[in-house]
A and B are shown apart, each in its own frame.
Chain A
Amino acid sequence: MIDPGAHAGFILAAYAATAIILGGVILASWLSLRAARARLQRLEALFPDGGKRPS
């Protein structure tokens, strides 16, 4: 069982930094995928034939 004593701040800072960095990457990755999917859906709605122009 943990009894961090005088070094509690270091342990907390290390875990907080990890959570912020990895949490940020998770959030950014998820938001990027969501934004890209939304953009693709809008484009596919504009060009239902796959973007090909009539010849």
Chain B
Amino acid sequence: MNDARPTSWLQLANPAVFNRWADRLLGPLVIVTLGLFAYGLYGTFFLSPADYQQGDTVRIMYIHVPAAWLALFVYAGMVFSALGTLVFRHPMADVAQKAAAPLGAAFTLVCLITGSIWGKPTWGTWWQWDARMTSVLVLLLIYLGIMALWRAVDDPLRAARAVAILTLVGAVNLPIIKFSVDWWYTLHQPASVFRLDGPTIHPSMLKPLLIMALGYLGLYLVLLLVRMKTELTLRRIDRLQRLAAGIPGERA
């Protein structure tokens, strides 16, 4: 048995080494994620109070806000992967990016749908074309564009470079989303957690919110590992088929 331990990110470029470490991490990650969701949902429905203005509709916040954070977090990770592809040519960078895009799209969709449902009883409307909501919708379209580009280009190396460039261009939307509520007059409220002067949200609501956010993060990491393992398996299949057919230029 090969018990070589990765001492650097470069060694994780070896699919066998990556798969071994992913298999070790997945079980504990699933358990921790389930625990976080169980405690987070208990806190959401039984420990946190109703809002003095919104009543119990504030409980939508515990699924909406973490989804918004993850939508941005996943894209930020994809920006690093894009740099890994273009600058360092790390073989796992495009695998990570391809695996992350649908997850980011899913979190963005959750953010938009739960926000819309929360908006109706709170603002009296399902949707408003204000800067925050529109920029998050643009983020979803960028995610879908990235996923489409992966499918449109046959050569994975060319696709990875094209996607990396598109990802870097789309990164301009991240500060727009974050600061849209400060730069423009929006129906959406300003930030209440990540502020220079500290959170304005009461600790009885902040604690379950952060636990739910950690649960979302755990879910993302689990799904990212699973999808990266799938992509590596598909590349191995592709390589085997090319070798068997005698097609030159197969990828390792």
Contact = CB atoms under 8 A, between A and B. Distances in A.
Interface residues of B, number: 39
A51 B244 contact: yes
B117 A5 contact: no
Contact of A1 (B46, B120, B223, B226): B46
Contacts, number: 107
Specify the main secondary structure of chain B where it touches its partner. Answer: helix
Contacts of B114: 14, 17-18
B241 A2 contact: no
Chain A's interface size range is 35 or more
A18 to B, nearest CB: 5
Contacts of B63: 14-15, 18
- The A contact surface, by secondary structure, is helix
A9 to B, nearest CB: 9
B246 A22 contact: no
Contact of A5 (B56, B103, B219): B56
Interface string B44-76: 011000100001110110011001000000000
Interface of A: 1-5, 7-8, 10-11, 13-15, 17-18, 21-22, 24-26, 29-30, 32-33, 36-37, 39-40, 43-44, 46-47, 50-53
22 contacts: A3-B56, A5-B56, A7-B121, A10-B57, A14-B113, A14-B118, A17-B113, A24-B106, A26-B219, A29-B230, A30-B226, A32-B227, A33-B227, A36-B233, A40-B237, A40-B240, A43-B244, A47-B240, A47-B243, A51-B239, A51-B242, A52-B243
